Structure 1
Amino acid sequence: MNDSQWNVFLRFRDEFKNLCNQWGQFSNELHPLQKEAAKSVPDYNLETAIVYNKAYDEVQKTDKINFIVIGDNPGKEEQLASNQKYLVGQSGRIAEGFFRRNSELGTDFRKNVLILNKTPVHTAKTVQLKYILKNGSKEIVSLINESQKKMAQLAFELHNGLFSNSKNDFPELWLVGYSELKKNGVFNRYRDELKKQYEGYSSWNKVFVYQHFSMNRFIVDLNEFRKDNNLPLKNCLEEIGKIHKNEIFGD
């Protein structure tokens, strides 16, 4: 990163860390809701209700950032006190393998990608946020809704700041996993705020939407597209990302 990009990243990191510290005041109220919401999944140690991504503290100014990848929310492995990093479970391992196998993308998933979520509030499965929204206090409901809006704002500021200070049209922003971005989805506030933030900015052209890495859905979707499209990988990714972007944002 150049000096301008590094300062953009530092502002993002520090603001997000401060927000997680502030939102942490709701941890005691969140814990029983998160446990109850997860009754349908195998038992696990619930250790972190609001998850800051400690991988940000390992980023160096010399790192080249090619992609910003935005998942849903921290899952079981992400919230472990020994981890507290995003996309370190099965989905992250699939993503890591994808970039490793496709060297033409020139990307180490753990070195050249900044990983964000749509909210730092943990649930074992994303859909369980709906249980918390239904059964939580008005303060908890506000936390989940407002954290989405704030994460959309931060994602835009980070991406646009890095992009506008780049000489090579990078980084791209990838929204991976979009079922809950659809109408009545738990992340529709994130969707609307993100679109609002990008209005009038050319960096919007470098925002793409994909299937989630989990259950190999990203790979399956890519392979299906490539059956009928004899294009280089980068072009395939761009076209798929535009198709799903249009499904979610209408453009």
Structure 2
Amino acid sequence: MNDSQWNVFLRFRDEFKNLCNQWGQFSNELYPLQKEAAKGVPDYNLETAIVYNKAYDEVQKTDKINFIVIGDNPGKEEQLASNQKYLVGQSGRIAEGFFRRNSELGTDFRKNVLILNKTPVHTAKTVQLKYILKNGSKEIVSLINESQKKMAQLAFELHNGLFSNSKNDFPELWLVGYSELKKNGVFNRYRDELKKQYEGYSSWNKVFVYQHFSMNRFIVDLNEFRKDNNLPLKNCLEEIGKIHKNEIFGD
């Protein structure tokens, strides 16, 4: 990163860390809701209600950022006190393997990618956020909704800042896992705020939407597209990302 990009990243990291500290005051109220929502999930120890991504503290100015990848919310492995990093479970390992196998992308998933979520509020499975929204207090509902809006704002500021300070190799923002971005999905507030933030900015052209890495859905979707399209990998990714982007945002 150049000096300007590094400062953009530092502002993002510091603001997000402060927000997680503020939102952490709701942890005691969140824990019983998270536990109840996750009943029946095996091998699961709830340790962190609001998960800050400690991988940000390992980022160096010399790192080249090619992608910002935005998942859903921290899951079982992400919230462990020994981890507290995003996409370190099965989905993360699939993503890591994808970039490792496709060297033409020139990307180390743990070095050249900044990973965000649509909210730092943990649930064992994303759909369980609906249980918390239904059964939580007004304060908890507000927390989840407002955290989505704030994370959309931060994602835009980070991406647009890195993009606008690039001379070439403009970083892309990937939204992975889009089912809950659809109408009546748990992340529709995130979707609407993100679109609002990008209005009038050319960095929107570098925003793409994909299936989630979990259950190999991202790779299955990509392989199905490549069967019918004789295009290089980068072009396939761009086309798929635009197709799903249109499904979610209508453009």
TM-score bin (small chain)? over 0.9
CA-to-partner distance for each residue in 1:29-64, whole Å, 9 max, x for gaps?
Answer: 000000000003114110000000000000000000
- How far did residue 169 of structure 1 move? 4.2
- How far did residue 166 of structure 1 move? 0.4
For 1:63 and 1:169, how far apart are their aligned partners in 2?
14
CA-to-partner distance for each residue in 1:132-187, whole Å, 9 max, x for gaps?
Answer: 00000000000000000000000000000000000114210000000000000000
Aligned to 1:150: 150
For 1:45 and 1:160, how far apart are their aligned partners in 2?
37
8 Å CA contact 2:226–2:236 kept in 1: the answer is yes
SS at match of 1:121: coil
- How far did residue 70 of structure 1 move? 0.1
CA-to-partner distance for each residue in 1:206-231, whole Å, 9 max, x for gaps?
Answer: 00000000000000000000000000
The CA RMSD over aligned residues, in Å, is: 0.5
Aligned to 2:66: 66
Structure 1 unmatched ranges of 5 or more:
none
Q: Matched residue pairs, number?
A: 251
8 Å CA contact 2:70–2:174 kept in 1: the answer is yes
For 2:166 and 2:92, how far apart are their aligned partners in 1?
26
SS at match of 2:128: helix
For 1:203 and 1:120, how far apart are their aligned partners in 2?
24
For 1:169 and 1:192, how far apart are their aligned partners in 2?
27
For 1:187 and 1:136, how far apart are their aligned partners in 2?
17
8 Å CA contact 2:66–2:169 kept in 1: the answer is no
SS at match of 1:75: coil
Aligned to 1:92: 92
For 2:233 and 2:46, how far apart are their aligned partners in 1?
39
- How far did residue 192 of structure 1 move? 0.1
For 2:206 and 2:43, how far apart are their aligned partners in 1?
40
- How far did residue 17 of structure 1 move? 0.1
For 1:180 and 1:189, how far apart are their aligned partners in 2?
10
For 2:227 and 2:169, how far apart are their aligned partners in 1?
28
SS at match of 1:209: strand
For 1:40 and 1:242, how far apart are their aligned partners in 2?
37
Aligned to 1:225: 225
SS at match of 1:162: helix
Worse overlay, 95-104 or 164-173 = 164-173
- How far did residue 11 of structure 1 move? 0.1
For 1:74 and 1:212, how far apart are their aligned partners in 2?
14
- How far did residue 74 of structure 1 move? 0.0
For 2:237 and 2:101, how far apart are their aligned partners in 1?
15
- How far did residue 65 of structure 1 move? 0.1
Instruction: Calculate the TM-score normalised by the size of structure 2.
Output: 0.99
SS at match of 2:21: helix
For 1:172 and 1:196, how far apart are their aligned partners in 2?
18
Structure 2 unmatched ranges of 5 or more:
none
1:134-173 superposed matches below 5 A: 134-173=134-173
Aligned to 2:197: 197
8 Å CA contact 2:156–2:198 kept in 1: the answer is yes
For 1:157 and 1:134, how far apart are their aligned partners in 2?
31
